[in-house]
Structure 1
Amino acid sequence: MPSVTREQVGGVGGAGGYGEGIHFSAPLVSLDNSSKNKVPEISLANFCSKYRIDDDTHALLAYNEFNPVNSIFEIDEAVFINDLCFKVGQIAELRWALRKMLAEEKIEITTSGESSTTDIFGGRGGDGGIGFQRGGEGGTGKPPKISAQDIFRFNEIASGIGGAGGASELPPPEVAKFLAAMQSTAGSRSRKDPILKGGQGGLGGYGSNIGGVGGIGGASQIPAVNVSLFAEISGGTGGGGGFSKVEGGRGGNGEGPDVPSHLVFIDDTTRRRIPHKTLAELGLNAPLRQLLEKNGFRTAGGLFEAYDSYFPPDQFKMGQIALIKSTLKRKFSIT
């Protein structure tokens, strides 16, 4: 069978579309309505003073009229970051203050709801068009947007499905039949209660010379504290490589689930005993302290509420993250 290089223009199937995974968003602290009703109303000014919220964060909260502070429990973290322009450190500091308040009030952090048999699926990208030299790429399948407080309304939550890549020409009848059978199972789902599924990459398009590359099956991102909401969390499924009589296309990658976790986990008993400590009082070196402050961190409490995803490798070195962990454990006797 003759070999064909990928630089060859004619007869190349289109790439399968990207099946985008869900970036799961939850409130800074997830509470059910029963717990929310137990939280005493506290003004923003009193809250920021008592729990030592810095002036910049206080100003952002005041500008967006989070007063009384109880209203913060109704807004997802993604809104604070993407729409209200909070830094990740400010989010962590605010979460620490809220959890500290709840711990002092002895209010349990709970999320509950009635289970449902309703399913919710992401969008499906359109298939790429036929091109007599190169088929078009399949479209992106976007995931549904859903908050933690609405999880129990659904039995299954599935991410987007990428569209199939377009053919470089009309395939022979026997090939067309084979491709139709493959596509009929590309987005199949088994039913289980409740589950969170990653994206499904689109099937690479038929190519008379080179089959199209299968699309990437994007993974869902869900914080570790929320994984117990699901019986199953699966990664993305890469799309199959496109069929060709000469050179078949490469299959797409299926991404694994991304589960950010706290740098150092503590329970409410430990949370209540930890005093207010600034970054300077922790004894962190000046360059690391300045880097943390640039990202909105101000206190040890904020670091306890930070996810590892808040410290990207293009900003923080592995040794710096290890130093933060060891310092928190040593300073507060955490085993």
Structure 2
Amino acid sequence: MPGVTREQPGGVGGAGGYGEGIQFSAPLVSLDNPSKDKIPEITLANFCSKYHIDDDTRALLAENGFDPINTLFEIDEALLINDLNFRVGQIAELRWALRKMLAKELPNITSTNSRDLSTTSIHGGRGGDGGIGFQRGGEGGTGKPPKISSQDVFRFKEIASGIGGAGGASELPPLDVVKIMQITAGSRSSGGTILRGGQGGPGGWGSNAGGAGGVGGPSRIPAATVSLFAEINGGTGGGGGFSKVDGGRGGNGEGPDVPSHLVFIDDTTRRRIPHKTLAELGLNAPLRQLLERNGFRTAGGLFEAYDSYFPPDQFKMGQVALIKSTLKRKFSIT
């Protein structure tokens, strides 16, 4: 009809992709190769009997061929949990038993090893950019991180997580619009590996609204392995997309996640702590049953538990606090 114009739907740029951080897994007990060679062969039966390993855990170990028990020094805990269906409490109980054995019977075993640092860098994948769409651009793809065991960290001068793909434009942007995304190149500082979190992709151009920048995901590093790195950086959120009207929101850059022990003890304290079951600790029945469902059996296992083993959807804050205070009170730990 003359004099009537049809409004075109507003264009919205696509969201930038997620830059996924590296999830590091530590060995049950970290030992260098010369130290492993000094440990006499220990049968599964003798180890489980002497260090109070429960029947369920013993059966899992036997089913998966961990006999002699020395083979556990070659295994990362993530493999035991994700591939072999060990519960977090069983992992903690095994770690306690192995460390107790080393501290009590093999005190000269060392867990340090001097290694020359490599000049090689390794980077995660880059997600594909979102496609152009007349009304809404497509979302950028996820940049997946490299998978590296903590025992191989020394092989790299820099370990960078994934980079999310850029969000797609809602239409071709004007020539005067410039997308800026600068990824800082890493370098090794005086003798150590740099670990970088994920890089969120930038939001796409939109004629009405720019797309949101992608999240720069964190890396997860157990507290026991942080000394492997000279520098640990969080994720970098992607920049918001350009627009003539509303610019897109910048993405969040998530901080590194470093799980730590509920209660830290050194080897001197570890040697003096006797075998105590959960019942002997005097914990209330509901909490004790909840711990047992997660594979915990002894006070030693609780000393080897990371705070990440007690997610808020299973454990109340007060229950975690009660575990901490009970361990400190029962064993006079300040």
> For this structure pair, what is the TM-score category when the shorter chain's length is used for normalisation?
over 0.9
| Cα-Cα RMSD | 1.1
* 1:4-63 superposed Cα distances (whole Å, 9 cap, x missing partner): xxxx96411000000000111111111110111111110111111110100000000100
The equivalent of 2:266 in structure 1 is 267
The partner residue of 1:191 within 187, 191, 216 is 187
Cα–Cα, structure 1 residues 112 and 317, in superposed 2: closer, same or farther, change >3 Å? farther
Percent identity for Structure 1 against Structure 2: 81
For 2:166, give the aligned amino acid: A
How many residues of Structure 1 are paired with residues of Structure 2 in the alignment? 322
The farther-off stretch of 112-121 and 158-167 is 112-121
Q: Aligned with 2:122: secondary structure?
A: strand
The equivalent of 1:19 in structure 2 is 19
Q: Contact 1:218/1:235 (CA < 8 Å) preserved in 2?
A: yes
Q: 1:111 deviation in Å?
A: 4.5
Distance 1:33 1:218 in 2: 33
Distance 1:323 1:156 in 2: 40
Distance 2:113 2:47 in 1: 24
Distance 1:102 1:114 in 2: 27
For 2:310, give the aligned amino acid: F
Q: Aligned with 1:110: secondary structure?
A: coil
Q: Contact 2:186/2:194 (CA < 8 Å) preserved in 1?
A: no
The equivalent of 2:229 in structure 1 is 230
* 1:46-91 superposed Cα distances (whole Å, 9 cap, x missing partner): 1111101000000001000011111111111110110001100000
The alignment status of 1:331 with 2:313, answered yes or no, reads no
Q: 1:108 deviation in Å?
A: 2.3
Q: Aligned with 2:119: secondary structure?
A: coil
The equivalent of 2:120 in structure 1 is 118
Runs (4 or more) in structure 1 with deviation over 3 Å come to none
For 2:208, give the aligned amino acid: N
**1:180-329 alignment runs, 5 A limit:** 182-183=180-181, 185=182, 187-193=183-189, 194-329=193-328
Instruction: Identify unmatched segments of 5+ residues in structure 2.
Output: 1-7
Q: 1:307 deviation in Å?
A: 0.2
Cα–Cα, structure 1 residues 292 and 112, in superposed 2: closer, same or farther, change >3 Å? farther
For 1:72, give the aligned amino acid: L
The equivalent of 2:156 in structure 1 is 154
* 1:136-195 superposed Cα distances (whole Å, 9 cap, x missing partner): 1000000010011101000001100000000011111111xx11xx13x1x232312411
The equivalent of 2:5 in structure 1 is none
Q: Aligned with 2:176: secondary structure?
A: helix
* 1:250-304 superposed Cα distances (whole Å, 9 cap, x missing partner): 0001101111000000011111111100000001111110010010000000000
* 1:223-275 superposed Cα distances (whole Å, 9 cap, x missing partner): 11111111110100000000001110000011011110000000111111111
Distance 2:60 2:150 in 1: 24
Instruction: Identify unmatched segments of 5+ residues in structure 1.
Output: 1-7
**1:90-109 alignment runs, 5 A limit:** 90-104=90-104, 105-106=106-107, 107-109=109-111
The equivalent of 2:143 in structure 1 is 141
For 1:189, give the aligned amino acid: A
Q: Aligned with 1:275: secondary structure?
A: coil
Distance 1:216 1:9 in 2: 27
Q: Contact 2:22/2:219 (CA < 8 Å) preserved in 1?
A: yes
Q: Contact 1:9/1:134 (CA < 8 Å) preserved in 2?
A: no
Q: 1:334 deviation in Å?
A: 1.0
For 2:219, give the aligned amino acid: S
Q: TM-score, normalised by structure 1?
A: 0.94
Distance 1:132 1:113 in 2: 55
Q: Contact 1:198/1:217 (CA < 8 Å) preserved in 2?
A: yes
Q: Contact 1:30/1:148 (CA < 8 Å) preserved in 2?
A: no
For 1:65, give the aligned amino acid: G
Q: 1:112 deviation in Å?
A: 4.0
Distance 1:9 1:151 in 2: 51
Q: Contact 1:26/1:148 (CA < 8 Å) preserved in 2?
A: yes
**1:52-67 alignment runs, 5 A limit:** 52-67=52-67
Distance 1:50 1:125 in 2: 51
For 1:242, give the aligned amino acid: G
The farther-off stretch of 30-39 and 80-89 is 30-39
Q: Contact 1:14/1:212 (CA < 8 Å) preserved in 2?
A: yes
Q: 1:109 deviation in Å?
A: 2.4
**1:32-51 alignment runs, 5 A limit:** 32-51=32-51
